[in-house]
Structure 1
Amino acid sequence: MLVYCLMPNHVHLILVPGDELGLRDALGEAHRRYTRMINFREGWRGHLWQERFHSFVMDERHLIAAARYVERNPVRALLCARPQDWPWSSARAHLAGADDALVSVRPLLELISDWAGFIGEPDAPDIADLLHAHASTGRPLGPDSFVEDLEQRLRRALKRQKPGPKAARRDSHTRDLFELLERD
């Protein structure tokens, strides 16, 4: 895990899964166990979090902006004055330069040497909208070259496509129609 922040009604995590199913399996099981524990302890029933988890790939520039956004979340919500004042986030670990029970700080500290200055800066003006948009679609966040590289490596379309039938399908249907007409 690179970044986390536990909020009263939601959780922000920035993770790099070890395999294809790692993210789904780990988060699904953690969510089930935590929900059962809290519901049992409090005598509650039902969901604890606002929504299911959302995931998407992002390039390094957006990863850095997302890390700041996540660690500054309690400040924006007026729960504390500074990110490091919130005990349920990775901000303290990044500032101390030492892993905690959940986060590995080295990958991000190799990119940002002055973490205190970094999280002290305001968020990029459009980062919240970008993160929310990509969380809802699951599409990669980054420049076209980043997305195109992912498409080539994964051999699948990741960019938003035009709505309606795909050209290849339309061509095959057209061929089928012409073949049918030729037979008659």
Structure 2
Amino acid sequence: MGYQKRTWYPGVIYHITSRGNRKEIIYKDIRDRYVFLNIIENSLEYYKGEFSIICYCIMSNHFHLMIETKDTHIKHFMSRINSQYAKYFNQKYEYVGYLFQGRYYSQIIDSDLELMEVSRYIHLNPVRANIVKKPEHYIWSSYSMYLGIGKKRIVQTEKLIDCFNTMKNYKMFVEEVGNG
């Protein structure tokens, strides 16, 4: 039985999640997470302007990306980052077989409200998992970049900040749920 084709059209924004096979850990140390971010950065460069990362969060056994597409289907970007990371991981740890559990999950974001809610969900992931008390304390997400306290890397913050007018308003929006 084949996979159903993903809905895609130019300019769509996706919430993407990919999880380790059998929910196993896919980032065993700090270097693994840096390698993954470098693969994303290199893939953004490879596709030169075709994709923008709005936000992300890297957990131990899965990751979340919010990605805006231009004229290239998301499957090309995801295939590149997942296959390159799986190759790196399998070589490093001398594993064989699938690193990721099936196909990556994708959800189309089709309103500003959904964009805001999903970004909050992504940035609060480590808080809800009881890894940190505040989302800005988790260094493997883009949240600190939205607050202006983290080095801006791979993320284009403008689209989300435009929904809130200021970073301060975004922080209040995220943390009203995070502290409740």
Q: TM-score, normalised by structure 1?
A: 0.61
Cross-structure match for 1:119: 174
The one-letter code matched in structure 1 to 2:96 is: R
Where does the alignment leave 5 or more consecutive residues of structure 2 unmatched? 1-52
Q: CA deviation at 1:45?
A: 2.0
Q: Which has the higher helix share?
A: 1
Cross-structure match for 1:30: 81
**Structure 1, residues 31-60: CA drift from partner, whole Å, max 9, x if none?**
000111011111122233334212232211
Distance in 2 between residues matched to 1:48 and 1:16, nearest whole Å: 25
Cross-structure match for 2:108: 57
Distance in 1 between residues matched to 2:70 and 2:82, nearest whole Å: 19
Going from structure 1 to structure 2, the CA distance change for 1:86 and 1:49 (only over 3 Å counts) comes to farther
2:56 is the alignment partner of 1:16: no
The one-letter code matched in structure 2 to 1:19 is: D
Q: CA RMSD in A?
A: 1.8
2:86 aligned counterpart, secondary structure = helix
Distance in 2 between residues matched to 1:13 and 1:88, nearest whole Å: 12
Cross-structure match for 2:124: 72
Q: CA deviation at 1:98?
A: 7.6
Give 1:1-184 correspondences, 5 Å limit.
Answer: 1-21=53-73, 23-58=74-109, 59-96=111-148, 100-112=152-164, 113=166, 114-122=169-177
1:121 aligned counterpart, secondary structure = helix
Q: Which has the larger radius of gyration?
A: 1
Q: Which has the higher strand share?
A: 2
Cross-structure match for 1:143: none
The total of aligned residue pairs comes to 122
Where does the alignment leave 5 or more consecutive residues of structure 1 unmatched? 124-184
Distance in 1 between residues matched to 2:102 and 2:71, nearest whole Å: 23
Distance in 2 between residues matched to 1:104 and 1:97, nearest whole Å: 15
2:147 aligned counterpart, secondary structure = helix
